[in-house]
Every structure is written in structure tokens, then in C-alpha cells.
Structure 1
Amino acid sequence: MGDPEMKLLGLWCSPYSKRVEIALCLKGLAYDYIEEDVQNKSPELLKYNPVHKKVPVLVRDGKPVAESLVILEYIDEMCKDKPSILPEHPYERAMARFWARFIDEKCLPSIWRAFWGPENEQESAGEEARNNLKILEKELKGNKFFGGTSIGYLDIVANFIAYWLDAIQKAAGKEILTKELFPLLSKWKDDFVACKVVKQNLPPWERLVAYYQIRNEAAKAARR
């Protein structure tokens, strides 16, 4: 059981929810986890996140914090006696925030469109996604992680690219991120997923692939 003063409303397949779980685990913080059904949202979720009505929501002492990027910073500031998730230097912290927004506002939307956008737009969206990933790959700068030698804020934010994207590619039968095109990102995602803290907070692989296979078939049916 976790600390009853802190609970996380999440979803097993959500990379945004898993970001928070990884951060909490890195900080060694105890919490209670509540699995949500996004098709039948609980009164608790609607109460604690009435604006977006989405997971994740972290509740501490009855006070909710929503949106994964906001929650990650909250966790970091709340627990300053543990190693920091964000870089210590103000400029590096600002750059980490910048690239986190790049991932959420540029990389992920282009990837979604490449797989589930209008069929006549998927090829161009795939090219856009690869261009965005090339830009992101340069930020590794020869380091093991975006955070340097250890997992940090930007690595956690990029968890979708490290794990979920492979599941989507397998389910859809096409690739955007390959070792040939993205050697640094490929090495990074292998190292990221291999970390114990990360591995124990990832959804089951086969279940995730099956989930996206169903989603892929539904998208195809909708376009007929």
C-alpha cells in the first residue's frame, strides 16, 4: 500500500500516466494507484480534473495536480532531498522544458497522424515525424540519456518514443523509427527501457501491442 495522503489516478496504457509513475519511483515516493476507465470516468476523476477530465492526476493531501509535465515538476520540487529530475542549472532546466514541449507538441502529434491520420496524409506525416525525431536525436549529443549519464526529466517525457512507438509500429506493420535511420535514439531507448525503475513501470508488451492492433483496425474501419 502507498501513502494514503498521495494517490495517482492513471491508465495502464497511457504514456502520460506512466511518466508520473516513473518519476514517483525514481524519487522513492509511496502512493496509491487508482486505475481509471476513460470510457466511464469516475466521479473522482471529474472532481479532481474538471477542466480536462483526463489522467494523470496526482492528489496529495486532497489537492490535485493535473497534466503530466506539470506533475513531473511538482514531484521534483516537492521532494528536493532526493536527486533532481530536472537539471540543476537554470538554462539547462529551461532547455529541458523547451524540448519537452517539442516532444508533446511536435513529435507526438506527427507520429499519431502518420499512423491514424487521413490515409492520404499519412506518408507526409511520417516524413514530418522522422524530421522531428532527427532534430530530437541531435539533443542526445553522444550522451547515454538526455539527462546525461542518468535518467532525467526529458528522458521520462520521451517515454512514448522509447516504448509505445515500437508497439504501434508492430501493430501497424510499418516503421518510422529504425536503428538505421536513428542509431542514437535507438541506443537511447534500449538503455532507457532496460533501466529497472523504468521497466517496472511499463505496460505489458503483448497487451499494449494488442491494444494498438485493435485501435489500428478501428481506424481502418472508420476510413472505409
Structure 2
Amino acid sequence: MAEEVLVFGAWGSPFSRRVEMALKLKGIEYKYIEEDITNKSPSLLKYNPVHKKIPVLVHNGKPVAESLVILEYIDETWKDSPILSKDPYERANARFWAKFIDEKCLSAIFKACWGEEKEHEKALEEASELLQFLENELKEKRYFGGETVGLLDIAANIIGYWLGVFEEASGVELMTREKFPKLCNWANEFVSVSAIKENLPPREKLIAYFRNRFGVGTASK
């Protein structure tokens, strides 16, 4: 029986792109369904009644929600080209930093780019401090996952691609090569991997979207 793999996502969302990146890295065929976030489909609401958000992976009729949970499900379901180490400590470490990106980094980056002007310096400082933790975590590795792209690299797509878009859309400079040479090298390597590159939304379209949604950032006011 052929497997049915559906991905409910949104073109500009780093979270739904994570799911596609993992499936592409593993060579899994899937059907992508674009959702209108302002007018969610009955299918999305049926498959994710709790959060009513994308992404949702539906595997043979069974839904899995939340991008980091989906990444682990993908890795456990399709064993080839693993994105999580077999070592328990390394797995725990990847989970920790992935959560750190979602819970700490993203909101700090947003505040630095589009927060209130009076708090701009403080927000920039906070975002830089958090990025420094990731810079240190890379050590001398090519990817966070070592020599191959892993779960943490996929989770960090927000830093690897979307951050540059946020910077250009808002006029804020955050991840400079002088401050974060390892992160900058990692980002270049990451977006050059074909399974990743194929799943990145068009840069200009994204920049236009964020400018339209948030206006120009604090630094350019």
C-alpha cells in the first residue's frame, strides 16, 4: 500500500519549510497543501483542532502537529539519512537548542527588527547575546549536526535564511560576519545544500511580504 504524506503549510513560514526540508533530505514523496492563514481550511482545523496552526503532517490519515515534533516523527518513521544522532546526549542537546531558537531567539530577533524604537538598543543587545550562544555551540563544526545537516540545522533555518530577509526588510543589521563568523559560514553552507535550497521561498517575495506586514524597522524610522 502506497504511503500518503500530506504537508499543510504556508509558503513564507520557516516552520512549515522545516517539515519539507526534512522530507526532502530523506527522499520522501509528499503532497503540499498551501494554507491561507487568514482563512484556514476545514482540513487544517480538523487535523490540528488544538492550535489551528500550520504546519501539520498527515501520514496515512494520522496528523502530527508542531514543527519540532514533526521533525522527530519523520526521523523515527523513515530511518534513512537520520537527522538526529543515536547518542542520547547529542539528541537531548539538539532538542534543547532547537527549543532555544523557537522560544528565545525568534521573539528577540523580531523585537530587534520591528519592536518599539525606545527599546531598540536593548532588543538588539538581547538578540546579539542569544546569537552568540549559537555561535559558540557551532564550535568548529560544519553544521550543528556535525558533517551532515541535522534537526538543529533545520530548526535554525530561521537564522540561516529568514534572519537575512528580516534584516533587509527592516533595515536592521544583526548577524554581521565580524561578530558571528561561524554562524555566517554555517548559513552559507546550509542554504547551499540542494534539499534546503529547493525549499527556500523566493527572497524578494519574502522581503516584500515582511515590509508590507510590519512596515520598515525601528532602525530606519
Q: TM-score, normalised by structure 1?
A: 0.94
Query: Residue 184 of structure 2: which of 183, 186, 191 is its match?
Result: 186
Question: Counterpart of 1:172 in structure 2: which amino acid?
Answer: S
The reply on whether 1:20 has 2:19 as its aligned counterpart is yes
Conservation of the 8 A alpha-carbon contact between 1:7 and 1:59:
yes
SS of corresponding position for 1:96 = helix
**Residue identity opposite 2:153 in structure 1:** D
**Cα deviation code 1:156-181 (max 9, x no counterpart):** 00001011110111111111111111
Amino acid at match of 2:57: L
Q: Relative contact order, CA 8 A, sep 6+: which one is greater? A: 2
Matching residue of 2:105: 107
Distance 2:19 2:46 in 1: 20
**SS of 1:64 mapped into structure 2:** strand
Residue aligning to 2:158: 160
Query: Separation in 1 of the partners of 2:24 and 2:87?
Result: 23
For the Cα contact (< 8 Å) 1:171–1:209, is it kept in 2? yes
Q: Which digits, 9 at most, give the CA deviation of each residue in 1:175-211, with x for residues without a partner?
A: 1111111000000000000111100000011101111
Matched, 1:98 2:66: no
Counterpart Cα distance in 2 of 1:56 and 1:35: 10
Distance 1:100 1:47 in 2: 27
What is the TM-score when the length of structure 2 is the normalising length?
A: 0.95
Q: Could you tell me which residue of structure 2 aligns to residue 59 of structure 1?
A: 58
In the alignment of these two chains, the number of paired residues is 218
CA distance in 1, matches of 2:3, 2:36: 21
Q: Which residue of 1 aligns with 2:169?
A: 171
Name the structure 2 match of 1:45: 44
The structural deviation recorded for 1:213 is 1.3
Report the alpha carbon displacement of residue 219 of structure 1 after superposing the two structures with TM: 7.8
Instruction: Provide the C-alpha distance between the structure 1 equivalents of 2:135 and 2:216, rounded to a whole number of angstroms.
Output: 32
Contact 1:85/1:153 (CA < 8 Å) preserved in 2?
Answer: yes
Greater shift after overlay, 18-27 or 115-124?
A: 115-124
RMSD value over aligned CA atoms?
Answer: 1.5
Match of 1:217 in 2: 215
Letter of the 1:116 counterpart: W
SS of residue in 2 equivalent to 1:139: helix
Structure 1: gaps (5+ residues): none
Q: Distance in 2 between matches of 1:84 and 1:99?
A: 18
The alpha-carbon deviation at position 4 of structure 1 amounts to: 6.6
Q: Provide the rounded CA distance (Å) in 2 between the counterparts of 1:96 and 1:51.
A: 26
Distance 2:3 2:76 in 1: 20
Read off the aligned partner of 1:56 and give its amino acid letter.
P
CA distance in 1, matches of 2:74, 2:132: 30
State the AA in 1 paired with 2:125: E
- Whole-Å separation in 1 of the counterparts to 2:161 and 2:216: 22
Closer, same or farther: CA 104–168 of 1 in aligned 2, 3 Å? same
Tell me if the contact between 2:5 and 2:30 (Cα under 8 Å) persists in the aligned partners: yes
For the 8 Å contact 1:140–1:146, the answer to whether it is kept is yes
Counterpart contact for 1:162–1:193, Cα < 8 Å: yes
Q: 2:8 aligns to what SS in structure 1?
A: strand
CA contact (8 A) 1:4 1:32 kept: no
Moved more, 132-141 or 110-119: 110-119
Q: 1:185 to 1:9 in 2, by over 3 A?
A: same
CA distance in 1, matches of 2:157, 2:66: 15
- Measured in 1, the distance between the counterparts of 2:142 and 2:74 equals 24
Percent identity between matched residues is 58
